[in-house]
Structure formats: C-alpha cells, structure tokens
C-alpha cells in the first residue's frame, strides 16, 4: 500500500480515498485489507491497476496497460446490402419462421437499428413490425 501512496502523507491519502487515516494505517500494517470500493477508488484516484495491486501481475498503472487497437473499418462493398436483402427475402419466402428470427437477432445484435426502427415508427414498439420491411406482421 505504501507503494501506491508514495510520498503522499497517510492523512492526504486517506482523504483522497474517503477513508479514515486509521484505515490506511491498518492496510499498511497488514491487519486489514481494502474492500472492493476502496480498491476502485484507488484505481480512479491513483491510476492503479487493481490486478497489479492484488497479485503483482501486470503494470502498476492502468495507463501502462496496452490499449486495444480500434477494429479496422472495412468498407461495405457495393451490392452487399442488396445481396443481404435478397438472401433474407429468399429465406423468408422458403420459411416464414425466419421473419421473426431475423427480427429478434437484428434487434439484439444492433441496438442502434432497434432505436432507428422505433424512431421511424414514431415511438411505437418494434415488437409488431418487420425490421426488413417496416410492415405490420399481424
């Protein structure tokens, strides 16, 4: 714990974590362990990697963790959307049960799409409409 506190006095450290100075003293003496809320505040206040604090594994500071690279954006080829639409239409014409399956899956996988459909319907629930045709399925 002293490593996290560094040169900061115990009282100032305690104040930043919203705990009593005696709590910090007990942590440092090893007679008490910080609770999850205390660990979270340490992470937020001091950029501490909780995994490092608990196990010694990984970097000390969160800012030292390797940041995931954003996924590469791949442009949709011309005709992809039309091919997808054709494929869905063919599946639905072969078995109408696919209509409901596609609707559920699209709404689950693409919450933005669900919001868009509901907005287009004037706030009505998307439960009774087809996301592919915006028609009432009842």
* Residue 100 contacts residue 138 (beta carbons within 8 Å): no
86 and 59 in one domain? no
One domain, residues 59 and 98: no
| Tens-digit pLDDT profile for residues 117-137 | 889 888 665 455 444 444 444
Question: Of 63, 96, 115, which residue sits at a domain end?
Answer: 63
- Give the rounded distance of the alpha carbon of 105 from its chain centre: 19
If one counts the domains in the chain, the total is 2
Instruction: Kindly state whether residue 87 falls inside one of the protein's structural domains.
Output: yes
Per-residue model confidence as pLDDT tens digits over 83-109: 888 888 898 888 888 888 888 888 888
pLDDT for the residue numbered 45:
92
Element (H, E) at 105: helix 97-109
Q: Provide the pLDDT confidence category of residue 81 given band limits of 50, 70 and 90.
A: confident
Q: What is the mean pLDDT of residues 64-80?
A: 72
pLDDT tens, residue by residue, 3-53: 889 999 999 999 999 999 999 999 999 999 998 899 999 999 999 998 898
| Beta carbons of 60 and 52 less than 8 angstroms apart | yes
Are 6 and 59 part of one and the same domain? Answer: yes
CA angle 66, 67, 70 (to 5 degrees): 140
Q: Per the domain annotation, does 94 fall within a domain? A: yes
Question: Is 12 domain-assigned?
Answer: yes
Range of 108's domain? 82-128
Least confident of 55-64, 65-74, 126-135: 126-135
Beta carbons within 8 Å of 118's beta carbon, 6+ residues apart: 124, 125, 126
Q: Is the pLDDT of residue 77 over 50?
A: yes
CATH of the domain at 46: 1.10.260.40
Q: Is residue 36 part of a domain?
A: yes
The pLDDT value given to residue 68? 66
Q: Is residue 39 part of a domain?
A: yes
49 and 90 housed in the same domain: no
Query: Which SS3 state, helix, strand or coil, does residue 57 take?
Result: coil
pTM of the predicted model, to two decimals?
A: 0.48
Instruction: Specify if 11 maps to a domain.
Output: yes
At residue 26's C-alpha, the angle toward residues 14 and 46, to 5°, is 35
Sign for the pseudo-dihedral over CA of 58, 61, 67, 68:
positive
pLDDT score of 85: 85
| pLDDT at residue 111, as a whole number | 86
């Amino acid at each position: 714990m002293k490593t996290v506190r560094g040169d900061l006095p115990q009282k100032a450290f305690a104040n930043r974590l919203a705990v009593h100075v005696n709590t910090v003293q007990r942590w440092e003496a090893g007679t008490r362990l910080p609770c999850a809320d205390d660990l979270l505040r340490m992470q937020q206040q001091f950029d501490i990697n909780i995994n490092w604090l608990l196990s010694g594994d990984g970097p000390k500071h969160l800012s030292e963790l390797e940041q995931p690279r954003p996924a590469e954006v791949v442009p949709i080829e011309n005709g992809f959307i039309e091919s997808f639409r054709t494929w869905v239409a063919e599946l639905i014409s072969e078995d109408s049960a696919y209509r409901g399956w596609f609707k559920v899956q699209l709404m689950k996988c693409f919450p933005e799409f669900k919001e868009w459909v509901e907005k287009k319907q004037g706030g009505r629930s998307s439960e009774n409409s087809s996301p592919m045709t915006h028609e009432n399925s009842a």
